[in-house]
Structure 1
């Protein structure tokens, strides 16, 4: 238990306010070839999916790649909070070292409390309702469809009540313009 991080985010989910924070989580997407694991990194401030990774195996590398993809496109100043559940992938040495190398502060949900990571859980519910409602024919088809959903619809066009009915990309532009 000494390896795990405190819950620093503490449900501060209001967009555009509070500490700069990203959340991460993993879900399982059904295909006729078996599960495809999807790890995402989402901005609490804008609800943008900043990075993601897919794999047929559930490994620490899955979350490392998702975070690395997000960081490559959206590097941050020291002090970013990264919040996740207590899944073993998030407290593996490789992932924790990656966060430390970027001066990112790790935060984790309380045991068994999915509401502590509601931003990520909400994205997965939306994805599974709007895009991944039926099993895909293959993992490759699932991977391509999820990428198209994130880049072609969710970030640029999906309206969010939490964002005043703006898309994540539009809300992010408004925040930058106001800064």
Structure 2
């Protein structure tokens, strides 16, 4: 059988250990092979964003370095859509690269500038961005609109934009969008309200608190655990 949204071997081992089970990666790999358990493979459908030709381009301040040691210093933003019978339901996110938390998100039946502005405002309300630090996105019309760069400047941030057509620059947001769509087990949501509920539950409970990812320093930890450990490391010793 294929376990929908099932874990890969390293993440499966980490999840078992977190729940108190004695397990090593070789045993987990053997059991997954014997029972034909596989993590779902997500097919990626990419389309190039349409830049606003009238907008002045912002430099790429990230340079494909999607790491950060301090929360609030490097944020990446992107949008996706969730199909419903009533039409597409759009989701905009702001992810903190230090913790991989979704510090801001917003949903609407459109993907105009107001959608990404609401997501950034949520990040600011949560204490996400710090003055002088960077907010990274693609060249989509939502991010090159007059309103969005204005909010960036008012928030004391520096706007950064990835190179047009570089699919590798989507890795950070794909690491959230992919599991959201695969692990909720839904291809078409029954309504906008159902999509909103799934996004909120998955983000705040499953992704932030129960889904570990490999951190270069802390090992397999959730985004919330990463924030706690990072805060401890950044706190000056008494």
TM-score normalised by L of structure 2: 0.71
The match for 1:13 among 63, 66, 69 is: 66
Find the aligned partners of 2:71 and 2:65 in 1 and give their Cα distance.
Answer: 7
TM-score normalised by L of structure 1: 0.93
CA contact (8 A) 1:23 1:117 kept: no
Equivalent residue number for residue 27 of structure 1: 80
Equivalent residue number for residue 194 of structure 2: 141
Question: Are the structure 2 counterparts of residues 107 and 117 from structure 1 closer, same or farther at C-alpha, using a change threshold of 3 Å?
Answer: farther
The yes-or-no answer on 1:174 pairing with 2:199 is: no
Find the aligned partners of 1:143 and 1:100 in 2 and give their Cα distance.
Answer: 29
Find the aligned partners of 2:192 and 2:225 in 1 and give their Cα distance.
Answer: 31
The yes-or-no answer on 1:97 pairing with 2:150 is: yes
CA contact (8 A) 2:78 2:138 kept: yes
Of Structure 1 and Structure 2, the greater strand share is in: 1
Q: Deviations over 1:32-71 (max 9, x none)?
A: 2221000000001100000100011111000000000111
Find the aligned partners of 2:124 and 2:71 in 1 and give their Cα distance.
Answer: 20
Equivalent residue number for residue 60 of structure 1: 113
Superposed, 1:122-141 pairs within 5 Å as: 122-131=175-184, 133-141=186-194
Structure 1 gaps of 5+ residues are none
Helix, strand or coil at the partner of 2:198:
helix
- Give the root-mean-square deviation of aligned CA atoms: 1.8
Q: Deviations over 1:88-131 (max 9, x none)?
A: 10011111010101110011110111212320122111211112
Say how many residue pairs are matched: 179
Structure 2 gaps of 5+ residues are 1-52
Find the aligned partners of 2:185 and 2:84 in 1 and give their Cα distance.
Answer: 10
CA contact (8 A) 2:91 2:105 kept: yes
Find the aligned partners of 1:105 and 1:29 in 2 and give their Cα distance.
Answer: 30
